[in-house]
């Protein structure tokens, strides 16, 4: 049915030299890093345990036309291209390819327009998520997508991965907040998709296709993102449970009650202890699990929403409830959750996973994670966006433990199969990248992968855009 996707091959030395010569001749003002030490710092993303190649060069373009010229020249010389944002990805999507060109979009970080009348912002991809949020907040507006890494990650990376985060239960993932894109294609040509229309069904949904494609179909050089009027400051509560099952039941009860809090996060006992050690919050360390529930409705409605969430938690067996007294206390609690991965990294070497299941299966997923940890004798700490059915089990090893690779491979394979058996997914927000490719056909089936391959082959016949990632 489809043309084969070209395999990843390191370009021969002569092609590398000729490519760099052409880039320097055509783009004399481009910032191009070719020094080995500079290139080395673009080898890895946050998946530091994955093997990755050393880029031939790192380009830091400032305009779409520079990106376009770079990709056109890369296509001519068959040089693989890795688009990169801030490098905080957790699936090896932006790691270096040996002899490839990494295009870091970090200098393309300008907001081009805040259009309050149409509730949208037009931006370059290199801006950091938190900076964009801050800039639109100054106009009384709100950009919803909120990955825990929001102070580090770029909008381009969020678009590349279809990032999720702490408020998807109410506002959706990044894809749900994108209206239009400018994209550089694999031959260097530039297209636009979507625009400022809230409704637009002209042709195929290309905007949605590019979002989440991890730089394998095109490089996003501009995005029109949906804004909302700024909501009220969040009201926040914590509920502690004697068992993981009880916390899972509370998540299901909150959904069944028809509540749509802005945040519904779960932390298990190991994560509670690590977060408490790192932040001295005085959390209940005897609890098996904790839920963080937040409302961004106006104060009276927020109080009513949290009252109903508390009732659902208590009926599921919550042993204690804490309500944040003021927005500052709420900020501390939310920030502690955001830093859960960093808190666990103080305990040992962490391999973070990203499985998702239909919400009602969260208790089953929690049980499966527990069994897998016991099966392999691995310490597991789990936290995540329980309201979306998306959990992050973290396998934790002593630093330098020689069994880490082998045990992680076995445990993650069981984890992915368990998630799939529950009707779930091997990755809910971090992406297939280079770390989960073998599990894509197991989840979606060979026929579906074949359709994906035909899309890849149509848009990138030479296979130069982020080869070896996703499919």
Task: Reduce the secondary structure of the chain to three states and give it as a string.
Answer: CCCCCCCCCCCCHHHHHHHHHHHHHHCCCCEEECCHHHHHCCCCCCCCCCCCCCCCEEEECCCHHHHHHHHHHHHHHCCCEEEECCCCCCCCCCCCCCCCEEEEHHHCCCEEEEECCCCEEEECCCCEHHHHHHHHHCCCEECCCCCCCCCCCEHHHHHHHCCCCCCHHHHCCHHHHEEEEEEECCCCCEEEEECCCCCCCCCCCHHHHHCCCCCCCCEEEEEEEECEECCCCCEEEEEEECCHHHHHHHHHHHHHCCCCCCEEEEEEHHHHHHHHHHHCCCCCCCCCEEEEEEECCCHHHHHHHHHHHHHHHHHCCCCEEEECCCHHHHHHHHHHHHCHHHHHHCCCEEEECCEECCHHHHHHHHHHHHHHHHHHCCEEEEEEEHHHCEEEEEEEECCCCCCHHHHHHHHHHHHHHHHHHCCCECCCCCCCCCCCHHHHHHHHCHHHHHHHHHHHHHHCCCCCECCCCCC
Q: Which is nearer to ligand FAD, 109 or 245 (CB)?
A: 109
Q: Which is nearer to ligand FAD, 249 or 271 (CB)?
A: 271
Segment lying near ligand FAD (by CB under 6 A), choices 4-12, 68-76, 152-160, 398-406: 152-160
- Report the nearest approach of ligand FAD to the CB of residue 256 (Å): 25
Q: Which is nearer to ligand FAD, 310 or 340 (CB)?
A: 340
Q: Which is nearer to ligand FAD, 271 or 316 (CB)?
A: 271
In this structure, what are the phi and psi dihedrals at residue 249, rounded to the nearest 5 degrees?
-65, -40
Under rule CB under 6 A, residue 83 binds ligand FAD:
yes
Which 211-240 positions form the footprint of ligand FAD (CB under 6 A)? 214-215, 219-220
- Report the nearest approach of ligand FAD to the CB of residue 89 (Å): 3
Under rule CB under 6 A, residue 149 binds ligand FAD:
yes
Q: Which of 120, 148, 316, 365 binds ligand FAD (CB under 6 A)?
A: 148
Segment lying near ligand FAD (by CB under 6 A), choices 135-143, 146-154, 291-299, 361-369: 146-154
Q: Which is nearer to ligand FAD, 245 or 429 (CB)?
A: 429
Alpha-carbon distance of 161 to 365, in angstroms, equals 23
- Report the nearest approach of ligand FAD to the CB of residue 324 (Å): 20
Q: Which of 99, 157, 188, 387 binds ligand FAD (CB under 6 A)?
A: 157
Under rule CB under 6 A, residue 124 binds ligand FAD:
no
Q: Which of 11, 61, 100, 147 binds ligand FAD (CB under 6 A)?
A: 147
Q: Which is nearer to ligand FAD, 115 or 151 (CB)?
A: 151
Residue nearest to ligand FAD (CB): 157
Q: Which of 53, 55, 93, 356 binds ligand FAD (CB under 6 A)?
A: 93
Contact 337, 290 (CB under 8 A): no
Which 397-456 positions form the footprint of ligand FAD (CB under 6 A)? 429-430
Segment lying near ligand FAD (by CB under 6 A), choices 6-14, 57-65, 162-170, 188-196: 162-170
Under rule CB under 6 A, residue 160 binds ligand FAD:
yes
Q: How far is CA 216 from CA 5, 50, 307, in A?
A: 11, 19, 45
- Report the nearest approach of ligand FAD to the CB of residue 420 (Å): 20
Which 254-283 positions form the footprint of ligand FAD (CB under 6 A)? none
Q: Which is nearer to ligand FAD, 223 or 316 (CB)?
A: 223
How big is the site for ligand FAD, counted in residues (CB under 6 A)? Answer: 36
Segment lying near ligand FAD (by CB under 6 A), choices 25-33, 149-157, 243-251, 403-411: 149-157
Q: Which residues bind ligand FAD (CB under 6 A)?
A: 45-46, 82-90, 93-94, 105, 125, 147-149, 153-154, 156-158, 160-161, 163-165, 214-215, 219-220, 341, 429-430, 466
């Amino acid at each position: 049915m489809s043309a084969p996707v070209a395999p990843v091959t390191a370009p021969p030395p002569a092609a590398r030299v000729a490519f760099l010569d052409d880039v320097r001749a055509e783009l004399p003002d481009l910032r191009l890093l070719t020094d080995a030490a500079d290139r080395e710092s673009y080898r890895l993303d946050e998946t530091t345990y994955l093997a990755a190649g050393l880029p031939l060069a790192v380009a830091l373009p400032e305009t779409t036309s520079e990106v376009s010229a770079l990709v056109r020249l890369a296509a001519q010389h068959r040089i693989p291209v890795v688009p990169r944002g801030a490098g905080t990805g957790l699936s090896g999507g932006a790691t270096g390819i040996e002899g490839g060109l990494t295009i870091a979009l970090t200098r393309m970080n300008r907001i081009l327009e805040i259009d309050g009348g149409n509730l949208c912002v037009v931006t370059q991809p290199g801006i950091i998520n938190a900076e964009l949020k801050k800039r639109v907040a100054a106009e009384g507006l709100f950009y919803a997508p909120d990955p825990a890494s929001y102070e580090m990650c770029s909008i381009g990376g969020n678009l590349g991965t279809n990032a999720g985060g702490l408020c998807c239960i109410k506002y959706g993932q990044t894809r749900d907040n994108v209206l239009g894109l400018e994209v550089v294609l694999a031959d260097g040509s530039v297209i636009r998709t979507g625009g400022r229309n809230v409704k637009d069904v002209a042709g195929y949904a290309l905007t949605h296709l590019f979002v989440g494609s991890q730089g394998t179909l095109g490089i996003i050089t501009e995005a029109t993102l949906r804004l909302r009027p700024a909501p009220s400051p969040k009201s926040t509560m914590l509920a502690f449970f004697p068992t993981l099952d009880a916390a899972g039941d509370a998540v299901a009860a909150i959904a069944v009650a028809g509540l749509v809090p802005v945040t519904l996060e779960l932390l298990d006992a190991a994560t509670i202890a690590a977060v408490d050690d790192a932040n001295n919050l005085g959390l209940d360390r005897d609890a098996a699990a904790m839920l963080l529930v937040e409302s961004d409705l106006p104060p009276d409605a927020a109080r009513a929403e949290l009252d109903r969430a508390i009732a659902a938690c208590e009926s599921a067996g919550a042993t204690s409830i804490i309500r944040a007294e003021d927005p500052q206390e709420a900020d501390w609690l939310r920030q502690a959750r955001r830093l859960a991965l960093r808190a666990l990294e103080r305990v040992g070497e962490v391999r973070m996973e990203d499985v998702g299941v239909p919400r009602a299966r969260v208790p089953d997923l929690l049980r499966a994670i527990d069994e897998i940890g016991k099966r392999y004798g691995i310490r597991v700490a789990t936290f995540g966006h329980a309201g979306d059915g998306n959990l992050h089990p973290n396998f934790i090893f002593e630093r330098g433990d020689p069994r880490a690779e082998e045990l992680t491979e076995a445990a993650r394979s069981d984890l992915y199969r368990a998630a799939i058996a529950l009707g779930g997914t091997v990755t809910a927000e971090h992406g297939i990248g280079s770390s989960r490719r073998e599990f894509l056909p197991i989840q979606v089936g060979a026929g579906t992968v074949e359709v994906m391959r035909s899309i890849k082959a149509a848009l990138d016949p030479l296979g130069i855009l982020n080869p070896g990632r996703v499919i």
